[in-house]
Amino acid sequence: MAIIDTFTYRDLDAHRVGRFNFGINTSFICYRLQDTLIDCGPSNQWKYVKPFVEAKPFKQILLTHHHEDHSGNAGSIYQLSGVQPQAPDITIDIMNRGFKIPLMQRVIWGSADRVKAAPLREDLTIGDEAVAPVFTPGHAKDMTCYLLKDRGWLFSADLYIANYLKFLRIDEHIPTLLDSTRHALSCDFNTLICPHRGVVENGKKKLQEKYDYLVELSTNAQAQRQSGSDLLEITESLLGKDGMMSKLSGYNFSKRNLIRSCLDVDLSAV
Ligand SMILES: [Zn+2]
């Protein structure tokens, strides 16, 4: 499995790649809007990303966060084109230091080279449209979405993906994710450009659904905790038992992580 899909949406070019075609969680969409690439795709798909990158000229690369499916080819594209990727300051630090990729993710996406990214330009634009970086930690501590207010688009990185979730990585944090989602929902957009799900029209409504789902899950988890249930009992009752996938990841990616993090949500603030 390699190139899964190529499509356009208005003036946006999109190219979905992935080693495994098990749906949106194992494939990644590289986007080009006018003169800009948004994220770089996983390194184990470089031979399929390269022709997409070479197909049209571009002047700018914007990274949303350091995760290997987003940054994996940043070094290769930099080397190929001479265009230095731009990234939020925290992402630059993480990419300079290098980061550990859990085995399961390395199998799905490959590795990520250390790359020296440049800070985001002030007065960031794509073509002649203004772009506002929207800092949205929670999924990753460095994650930033990019808002094109004039057209009502949000390049949403991994903020949305689906309107519910059942598993959480150990380094994700639901209270922070809820804060970030509220922040994003206060922005002016209607379409989400998601590197896993694709183009999501009525995206604000969908993101609100995900937010509401997580608040409800947190409310239910905390009610069960109050009645004396422990983490595994709450997890099983609300999401079902952790299966083989959680076990294989050493519970790095599991249902219990999601419930544990939901128990930390301050429900008076949501
Ligand atoms: Zn990510």
pLDDT for 112 equals 87
**pLDDT of 113:** 79
Within 59-115, strands assigned E span 60-62, 86-87
User: Would the pTM of this model clear 0.85, i.e. be above it?
Assistant: yes
Q: At what angle do helices 203-226 and 255-262 cross, to 10 degrees?
A: 80
Distance 156 CA to ligand 1 centre (A): 11
Q: Ligand 1 centre and the CA of 218: distance in Å?
A: 22
pLDDT tens profile 154-172: 999 999 999 999 999 999 9
Do residues 92 and 130 lie in contact, with contact meaning Cβ atoms separated by under 8 Å?
no
Cα distances (Å, whole numbers) of residue 20 to 44, 45, 215: 11, 10, 32
Q: Ligand 1 centroid vs 228 CA: distance in angstroms? A: 34
pLDDT in tens, 231-245: 999 999 999 999 998
Ligand 1 midpoint to CA 225 (Å): 29
Ligand 1 centroid distance, CA of 119 (Å): 19
Is the pLDDT at 23 greater than 80? The verdict is: no
